[in-house]
Structure 1
Amino acid sequence: MRIIMNQEPLGVAPDVICPAGLPRWSEVPAPPFLTDYSALGDIPAHSTAPFQYDPEINHKIILWSGDISSLQVDAIVNSTNESMTDSNPISDRIFERAGPGLKEEISLDIRECGTGEVRVTQGYELPARYIVHTVGPKYNIKCQTAAENTLHSCYRNVLQKSRELGIHSIALCSVNSVKRNYPPDEGSHIALRTVRRFLEKFGSSLDIVIFVVDSTDIGIYEVLLPLYFPRSKLEEEASRWQLPSDVGGPDGEPMLPDRQIRIIDNPQHTLHPDEESIDLTGQLETLVTVEHAFSQMQGDLDQQRLLGERPYNDPLADLMVKEIQHQERYERLLRRAKAEDLTEVSGIGCLYQSGVDRLGRPVVVFIGKWFPFNKINLDKALLYLIALLDPIVKGDYVIAYFHTLTTSSNYPSFSWLREVYNILPYKYKKNLKAFYIIHPTFWTKMMSWWFTTFMAPAIKQKVHSLQGVEYLYSVMSPDQLEIPAYITEYDMSINGLRYFQPGAPT
């Protein structure tokens, strides 16, 4: 929300944004209902909520999407590079509005800033008194822990410097730069928990903290803010399931220095980094080395496992053992799927292939309302899923999930989804080109954000929510889509008669 000041003091630009006109996080209403995770049978990641409901802290927080250089605060944050000459939309706007004095101060007095450190300049012609410059880390999966710690240092040092300067209002941009390959969702976790821990200890030093995000990140913060700044006891309780296991130390710093994989224990993500949000050029050599090591070591690892031996302190060998075990488990399930009678699941009709899309890729349809999660044999449901998809996923494919008129009895538990995702081999994730959710609700939006953030980051960019069936027709012909009549009837009742006829131009 952008607030335009109607009456400004003489000499103040007309587009200056005053924080008093922006809604505080405590004033943003929480959802009217939340999923009861305990009723779904899931085990929470935390015995107690790591971040308590605190209305006083919530009142200090503002989430806003706009031009950071227009904010009338004590300080704004500029994410830059070591030479402080980075060209990005935020920096460019700050320098343009601040005027030549800013460049002069940097070139004559400051000159450089180390990664993770901060430098302070005057705001010059900006509405802000100060600019706190910091340099975020370059992200690389091999140096993930170092990048996380450095990003935490950026935010922590910014906050400490604001306390030293007696600053009471500060606007934070996203320091975790996509330009430096940092995944925005992971960076948001670090930013939020670092600010939360700082306010718990030094809350009296800051009255306002504005998270200034662009349109691409606003959705991430809207989902994650309630976990670190719950607005009710219900949100606080739900965070026990939704927060990752690593919520940082006393200052929000990362506490899992040896982890090789982000939040989930899923070895194929490490073996195939091409689907991570990273720069692949720096990973090619490692990938070739791992695959070569796998081909050379597989026989030795099988022998060591049979003899009960384990290579001492060899994470690569451990990774290879996990991958072998993972593949063997899937092969066993595939043999069972081909041998067992699965008609009690296939007869339900909730999962089937329905034609191909306009690129010739098979379309797998899942009908949420027809999936009786609380009554179905989940072991056989998994076997049927494997039997149906195994021949399809050898090439590219898409999934269309219809959430139309589903109820809580149709919702699968997080633990079951996690198990299924971890069982399915890499080809399922790699060859999935799109996952469409038709008729999404608040539950599906929360579910998809949570699942793709904490369990399945490899498919995050492939998930798309569609408000109506007709939106599918841009990617597949109507005569290739076979769905139950109730879905079409419901769609017409909410969206009107906006359907393409088979054979009609699109």
Structure 2
Amino acid sequence: MDPLGARSQFVEVQNLPTWDQPQGVQDEVDGENLLMEEDDQLTNQLNSLESPFPFRQDINSKIVLFNGDVALLNCTAIVSTSNETLTDKNPVSDSIHRYSGPELRDELLKLKGCRTGEAKMTEGFNLAARFIIHTVGPKYKAKYRTAAESSLYSCYRNVMQLAKEHAMASVGFCVVSTVKRAYPLEDATHIALRTVRRFLENHGENIEVVVFAVSDVEEPVYRKLMPLYYPRSKKEERIGLPLLPADIGNAEGEPVVPERQIRIAEKPGNLEDDSGDDSLESDLGLVGSHAFARMEGDVDKQRKLILQGQMSEAAQQKQHQRNYNRWLCRARTEDLSDIAALKALYQTGVDLCGRTVMVVVGRNIPVTLIDMEKALLYFIHVMDHITVKEYVMVYFHTLTGEHNHLDTDFLKKLYDIVDAKFKKNLRAFYFVHPTFRSKVSTWFFVTFSVSGLKEKVHHIENLQQLFTCILPEQIDIPPFVLEYDTRVNSPYYTAQSSGL
């Protein structure tokens, strides 16, 4: 506690100037502006183009660039960068440990480490910040640049996701890519700025302030690049347009890997030209353009409506999208903490193809005791940003009782509500430790209730089978599942589980 009358060493973020406040355009930007005004042809060309990062005063008003110690910020949460064992010694983590007190070190031991790209949270203890979000930046090697970019994106994205899930008003970022990890500062800054920008655009309605805390070395780079992603005027937006890098990421800011965009036809010899907007139609052409292939319901009813002029296919798609958006808005505003506490749905690592793995634990879903509509909202809330790219689901049916069996009507409702990306980007559904009853129920469900899912469902009898698709270190398996598998199957898994 500060002595009576002494000024607090902590910094109130509300008193810091936000990025939208007029501070004068820097000399170098003025120079570029004058140069551009001399070239009328170039100026006219840029005026006709739309920037992927347009001037948004509402977003700029949430951004603060702060030259100072992130540990001193009075935010809801501050970010600490460390290594996989959360024991790294660097200027940021050392300062946070110094101000938070010895309790933090004890708390970190309970987390049992953190994988690269992930984010985990602890209390702030003696800090002004209520929480500390710990993340692990990648080690940079030019040979593995793509992997490093994706991991660094995940650091910033997962921090922002945690902030959103816990309804945090303000977040203070350190520079995640430390000197120890050899990540080029300018490259890392591009990823940091655009990831936060995209998150605020898509999901940041309740986040009030994001602070980038930088050092004297880092500040010039941030000041140089921030106008590209957070232009403070239409003129600054036009100036920054030709300076943006070729890879500005996808709609969420995630790095785009060209190799992963190559689509392989399911039948050899079917060569097709990827035509952007027609890609969905081309894909469906391989299996047919009828409603069954499109995973639509009640074909006769839809055709009748179309013939009567009541509802076109485009109108149906828009209606479905509006319905999903309503569910998504509810999911983002309702308190779902009681469902989250069940730990029945969570993100873990990636499978052998690099696709995100989502885990569902059947035994943790007390179907007869919880509000299943809230469970549906929670599923949409967690999965919406996961499903923008390919992913797989692992469902542990292990020791699931009568009160945990999900009703097929609920599953059908969920399948009908979710966005098309949920279905298109789901590459596999691994059903672990199925019973005879569950196999029969699943067969009826994927055969008669929904379409397009049957070939994606794989029944997994033991963990050894699962590990042929997902490495043990890439999936967090509940202890009771490991114990059950060891007891029922071979003791071989004891050795496997020790590495989890």
TM-score by length of 1: 0.47
Which structure exhibits the higher relative contact order, with contacts defined as CA atoms closer than 8 Å and separated by 6 or more residues?
A: 1
Q: State the TM-score, normalized to the length of structure 2.
A: 0.48
